[in-house]
C-alpha cells in the first residue's frame, strides 16, 4: 500500500538522509528593461520584491511604490556589478525605501551587493513565518565604484545565514543605501524531499526569469562552452544529459521534473499539430516543453519553466538516468536552437517516512547497544506494511527506554530531543499517547 504525503506536517529535516541543500540561486537583474518596477518578475525563481518604509526615511510617502525601480548602470563592470541594478525609490533622488523579498520556500543563506553605500550600517532583517530570526549580518567592503556619476561610492557585500545552516527564514527586509545588485539565496528542500540538479538556476547566466524575452547572442555560453555540466549554452537539435541522483530508501510518493529552457521549438514528429519539444527519461516519453521560439511573434526567444509529473515513472529511475530533450528540426537538418538553464528532479517521501529516517540517523551510537536503533528500524518496518497500531506501540517502547536512560546512558538534552521527535511522528500517524 502506498502512503500519501502528509501535507499538514511541516518539519525541517536538516539531518535527514533524504534532505539535501538545493543549489544556490543567483541573479544580477540584467534581464529586465531599465525603468521597470521589479515586483513579481523573479517569483518563478522563488523571490518576490516589494518596498517597505525605511526607518532612515521617516518622511517617505505612504504607501511606497509597488517595487524597486530597475536602473540601467550602463557599461559598469566592477566587483561583479554590471548591467542593471535596482534603485529603492521612484527616482535617483529618492525618497528611498527598504526592500522586502519574500521567498516561496525557506532559505538558509542570503546575500546581495549594496551599491553607493556611503551611509552605514547597512540593515538586513530575516523573518520566519512572521517572526524575526536572530542572525548575524556580515558586511564586506568590495571597494568603491566610480564608473558613473550616479553610482559613485563604497560597495559592500551583505550576507546572512550559511548555506546548509540550521536556521531558515522566508522573508528578508534590507536597506541603508539606494541601489542593490547580484542577489544570491539558497533554498531549503521541503521536508521529506531530495532534489537533484543539472545546471545552476541562474537564468542562463544573466538572470532571465520565466516567460521573459531574451537575446541568445548575449548569453555567456552562446559561442562558448557554457557551464561545466553542459548547460547555459546554445544548442541545436536534441540533447541528452545524465541526471545523477541518490534515491531515498523510503518509498517515494511524488516526483517532479522541473525544466527551465529558452527558445525551444517544436518536435519534428509533431510539427503538423504544433506540439512542443518532447522530453524522454531513459528513452521513454514523459512530457512536453512549452514553446519559446521566435515564431511566437516577439523580437526575441522566450524563457519557459515546465514542471512535469514523473510519479508514474518512478520505477524507471536508477540514480543515473538519461534525460533527453528533442526540440524542433526540419527533416534531417538542424533547425531551431535552444538553451537549457537547469533540470531538477524532486523526490518526496511521506512526512512520517522522512521523520523515521531522521530518527534512525539520530540514534546511531546512542544509548546501550543497538536497542534504540533496532526499535526505530522495527517502527519503519511496521509503518511500511502499513500497521499503524504496531508502529505506535514500538514508538511508545522507544520513548520509555529513552526516559529510563535519560541522565545515564543518554544526556538529558539528547533524551529530550529524541522523545520530542518520537512524539512528532506519533502525532503525524495519529497514535494515542
Amino acid 2: pLDDT: 28
CATH number given to 25-188: 2.60.120
Whether residue 45 is predicted with pLDDT greater than 90 in this model: the reply is no
Cβ 187 vs Cβ 105: under 8 Å: yes
The mean of the pLDDT values for the chain is 81
Confirm whether 25-188 and 196-349 share one CATH topology.
yes
The residue ranges of DSSP E strands in 316-365, in sequence order, are: 320-326, 329-330, 333-334, 337-349
Judging by beta carbons within 10 Å of its beta carbon (0-12, 13-18, 19+), is residue 5 exposed, middle or buried? buried
CATH number given to 196-349: 2.60.120.1200
Size (the chain), residues: 433
The mean per-residue pLDDT over the stretch 421-431 comes to 85
Amino acid 118: pLDDT: 67
Could you report the per-residue pLDDT of 77-100, keeping only the tens digit for each?
777 777 788 998 888 788 889 999
Q: Which residue has the higher pLDDT, 316 or 163?
A: 316
Amino acid 281: pLDDT: 95
Residue 252: CA count within 13 A, CB half-sphere: 24
Cβ 111 vs Cβ 159: under 8 Å: yes
- Partners of 109 in the beta sheet? 161
Q: At what angle do helices 371-384 and 388-405 cross, to 10 degrees?
A: 170
Q: What are the Cα distances from residue 2, in Å, to 5, 19, 31, 347?
A: 10, 21, 44, 15
Q: How confident is the model at residue 26 (pLDDT cuts 50, 70, 90)?
A: confident
* Domain boundaries, given as residue ranges, for the chain: 25-188, 196-349, 363-429
**Cis before 130 (ω within 30):** no
Residue 182: CA count within 13 A, CB half-sphere: 18
Cβ 367 vs Cβ 405: under 8 Å: yes
Whether residue 257 is predicted with pLDDT greater than 80 in this model: the reply is yes
CA gap 149, 254 in Å, rounded: 53
CA nearest to 409, candidates 375, 377, 369? 369
Cβ 69 vs Cβ 84: under 8 Å: no
Q: How confident is the model at residue 222 (pLDDT cuts 50, 70, 90)?
A: confident
Amino acid 372: pLDDT: 92
Alpha helices in 125-267 (DSSP H): none
> Which range among 334-348, 350-364, 368-382, 418-432 has the greatest average pLDDT?
368-382
CA gap 185, 165 in Å, rounded: 12
Phi, psi of 211 (to 5 degrees): 70, 10
Could you report the per-residue pLDDT of 365-420, keeping only the tens digit for each?
888 888 999 999 999 899 888 898 999 999 999 999 999 999 998 998 889 989 98
Cβ 156 vs Cβ 140: under 8 Å: yes
Cell numbers that stand for 86 in this block: 535596482
Amino acid 301: pLDDT: 86
Amino acid at each position: 500500500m502506498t502512503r500519501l504525503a502528509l501535507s499538514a506536517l511541516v518539519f525541517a529535516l536538516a539531518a535527514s538522509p533524504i534532505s539535501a541543500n538545493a543549489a544556490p540561486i543567483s541573479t544580477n537583474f540584467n534581464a529586465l528593461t531599465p525603468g521597470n518596477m521589479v515586483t513579481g518578475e523573479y517569483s518563478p525563481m522563488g523571490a518576490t520584491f516589494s518596498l517597505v518604509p525605511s526607518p532612515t526615511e521617516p518622511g517617505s510617502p505612504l504607501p511606497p511604490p509597488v517595487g524597486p525601480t530597475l536602473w540601467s548602470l550602463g557599461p559598469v563592470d566592477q566587483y561583479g556589478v554590471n548591467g542593471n541594478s535596482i534603485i529603492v525609490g521612484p527616482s535617483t533622488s529618492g525618497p528611498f525605501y527598504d526592500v522586502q523579498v519574500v521567498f516561496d520556500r525557506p532559505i538558509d543563506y542570503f546575500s546581495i551587493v549594496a551599491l553607493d553605500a556611503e551611509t552605514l550600517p547597512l540593515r538586513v532583517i530575516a523573518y520566519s513565518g512572521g517572526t524575526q530570526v536572530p542572525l548575524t549580518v556580515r558586511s564586506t567592503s568590495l571597494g568603491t565604484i566610480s564608473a558613473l556619476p550616479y553610482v559613485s561610492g563604497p560597495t559592500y557585500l551583505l550576507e546572512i545565514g550559511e548555506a546548509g545552516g540550521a536556521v531558515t527564514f522566508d522573508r528578508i527586509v534590507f536597506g541603508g543605501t539606494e541601489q542593490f545588485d547580484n542577489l544570491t539565496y539558497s533554498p531549503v528542500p521541503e521536508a521529506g524531499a531530495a532534489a537533484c540538479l543539472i545546471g545552476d538556476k541562474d537564468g542562463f547566466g544573466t538572470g532571465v526569469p520565466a516567460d521573459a524575452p531574451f537575446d541568445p547572442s548575449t548569453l555567456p555560453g552562446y559561442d562558448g562552452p557554457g557551464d561545466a555540466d553542459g548547460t547555459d549554452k546554445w544548442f541545436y537539435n536534441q540533447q541528452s544529459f545524465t541526471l545523477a541522483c541518490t534515491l531515498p530508501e523510503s518509498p517515494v510518493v511524488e516526483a517532479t521534473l522541473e525544466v527551465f529552457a529558452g527558445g525551444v521549438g517544436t518536435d519534428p514528429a509533431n510539427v503538423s499539430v504544433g506540439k512542443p519539444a518532447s522530453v524522454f527519461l531513459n528513452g521513454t516519453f514523459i512530457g512536453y516543453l512549452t514553446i519559446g521560439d521566435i515564431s511566437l511573434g516577439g523580437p526575441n526567444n522566450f524563457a519557459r519553466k515546465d514542471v512535469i509529473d514523473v510519479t508514474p515513472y518512478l520505477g524507471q529511475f536508477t540514480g543515473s538516468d538519461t534525460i533527453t530533450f528533442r526540440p524542433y528540426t526540419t527533416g534531417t537538418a538542424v533547425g531551431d536552437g535552444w538553451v537549457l538553464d537547469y533540470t531538477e528532479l524532486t523526490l518526496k517521501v511521506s512526512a512520517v517516512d522522512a521523520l523515521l529516517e531522521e530518527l534512525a540517523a539520530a540514534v546511531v551510537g546512542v544509548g546501550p547497544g543497538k536497542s534504540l536503533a533496532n526499535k526505530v528500524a522495527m517502527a519503519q518496518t511496521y509503518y511500511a506494511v502499513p500497521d499503524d497500531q504496531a508502529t505506535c506501540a514500538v514508538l511508545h517502547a522507544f520513548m520509555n527506554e529513552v526516559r529510563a536512560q535519560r541522565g545515564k546512558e543518554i544526556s538529558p538534552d539528547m533524551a529530550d530531543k529524541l522523545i520530542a521527535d518520537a512524539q512528532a511522528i506519533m502525532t503525524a500517524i495519529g497514535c494515542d499517547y
